[in-house]
Structure 1
Amino acid sequence: MLEVAEQASPDLEIIYRDEHLIAINKPSGLLVHRSWLDSHATEFAVQKLRDQIGEHVYPAHRLDRPTSGVLLFLLDKTYANDLMEQFAEQRTEKRYLAVVRGHIGEGFLDYALKKKLDKIADKHANPDQEAQEAQTEYKGIAFSELPIAVRPYPQSRYSLVELVPKTGRRHQLRRHMKHLHHPIIGDTTHGDGKHNQMFRDNFDSDRLLLHSAYLGFTHPVTGKKVEIHAPLDDTFNSLLATLKLDVNRCTN
């Protein structure tokens, strides 16, 4: 019996590169590196990018597995401390796009979050730590109403929202949107199961609709500002078109 070779996934989309840094547009569902969260995963951004360019790469920050968008790596660990300090001290600029339940306006949320602990990595940590400061700017930029009933309402409403985190807490954007009663579609942890199911049934969409669209930081070698934009993938763009949510209304 002939064995069927496993088909390799497409190369990663490189959206920035110089002699010190490289950034990709990470697809949703790809882990940054090996993790106990999924012992069965066979592909990881670190190894995949290393094999693609033939050089070792070192992630400068984290991006959740279901989130797509800008993911920055160092090609030389010499400058790791400088860059990681920028992320740790919130001296970077980040902008995300998300599809959320309901019609949301514009505002600034200052709502502390308790640190989320990993069952394995943080098993010795104190579970009763005080909540940490967490701040997010949000702005609804496009809105739609669909003639699809999602209990108990005869229609369903959605917004395309721009999110700007001012702090870097784990799952901050997802938890803040839940707190505002506008959960991100596709969020199986902090989202709305009925609306997630509607998207699976009607649009064959089960991914988290959260995308890291922009990253700005100071280059650790040149000292100049670097701005990286990650375009939405075809699937996300097609879904926005179906929902009649115009991403071009985003002014940034």
Structure 2
Amino acid sequence: MIPFKILFQDENFFAIDKPAGFFVHPPELSPYPVPREKICLYHLRKHFNQEVFPVHRLDAPTSGVLLFATSRDSARELNRLFAERKMQKTYQAVVRGFVEDEGRIELPLEINDGKEIVEASTLYKRLGAVELPFPVGKKYPTARYSWVEVQPVTGRWHQIRRHFDRIAHPLLGDIDHGDSHHNRFFRDHLGIKGLCLKATSLRMISPWSQQEVTIQADPCEKWDRIQKLFSQQS
């Protein structure tokens, strides 16, 4: 029994609903050993009794739709869709502060340990906003947050997390790029733990059937809490 749900499956590829805390494959640079029970590939290869191939990645703390191919040829075809930007990925996130109703972040990002700078583009629209009467961090008398839908146009490492941090709206629960005061407030006061980033859907035209395929992640308790929080205000 695998510890996550298979959202879509055909003979060429499948998608799972990855829980937060799971790695796609064994991390190369982890300072501590990761048990195989927390590695998606271990469970999937055992479940299908065959080799499977990750087509893209989600960070360990990010949950949601994750795509795998059932053969190298299928993986190559799906990677082509990503390279040609014909794979539409949609995320939801919670960020510090009030963002504009919609926007586009066009900021180059570093890759290869900062040795190379590449273009990076992220679209977003605000789904909701809330202002809470708590002086988190003691700089402002209230705490403001935005719930956003995000579509990365490019696919850089930690792109969404780094882009929102660069415009002074870091994601809640982001240990690497976020605000520790607000992270603690969300965890301890609101009971919303971990990174507030979820890959909610993926859309493409299947190279095999030529039909549109839309795969959506299931609702979960954490994001139900987030939706309830933002239902207080609009």
The one of 135, 149, 152 aligned to 1:162: 149
> What do the CA deviations read for 1:105-159 (whole angstroms, capped 9, x no partner)?
1111211112153xxxxxxxxx532x21111111111111112221212211111
Give the gaps of 5 or more residues in structure 1. 1-7, 118-126
The one of 159, 163, 166 aligned to 1:179: 166
1:60-71 paired onto structure 2 within 5 Å: 60-71=55-66
Distance 2:231 2:218 in 1: 16
Aligned residues: 228
Distance 1:238 1:68 in 2: 15
Q: Is the 8 A contact 1:79 1:221 kept in 2?
A: no
Q: TM-score, normalised by structure 1?
A: 0.84
Tell me, yes or no, if structure 1 residue 97 matches structure 2 residue 101. Answer: no
Deviates more, 1:34-43 or 1:77-86: 34-43
> What do the CA deviations read for 1:218-237 (whole angstroms, capped 9, x no partner)?
32322322111113321221
Distance 1:64 1:109 in 2: 20
What amino acid sits opposite 1:75 in the alignment? T
> What do the CA deviations read for 1:167-204 (whole angstroms, capped 9, x no partner)?
11111111110111111001111111110111122133
Describe the SS at the equivalent of 2:93: strand
Q: Is the 8 A contact 1:90 1:168 kept in 2?
A: no
Distance 2:170 2:219 in 1: 20
Identity of aligned residues (%): 38
> What is the deviation of 1:216?
1.2
Q: Is the 8 A contact 1:92 1:215 kept in 2?
A: yes
Distance 2:141 2:49 in 1: 54
Give the gaps of 5 or more residues in structure 2. none
RMSD: 2.0
Describe the SS at the equivalent of 1:56: coil
Distance 1:245 1:160 in 2: 11
The structure that is strand-richer by fraction is 2
Tell me, yes or no, if structure 1 residue 110 matches structure 2 residue 106. Answer: yes
Q: Corresponding residue for 1:25?
A: 17
Distance 1:244 1:160 in 2: 7
Greater gyration radius: 1
Describe the SS at the equivalent of 1:80: helix
Q: TM-score, normalised by structure 2?
A: 0.90
Distance 2:103 2:17 in 1: 28
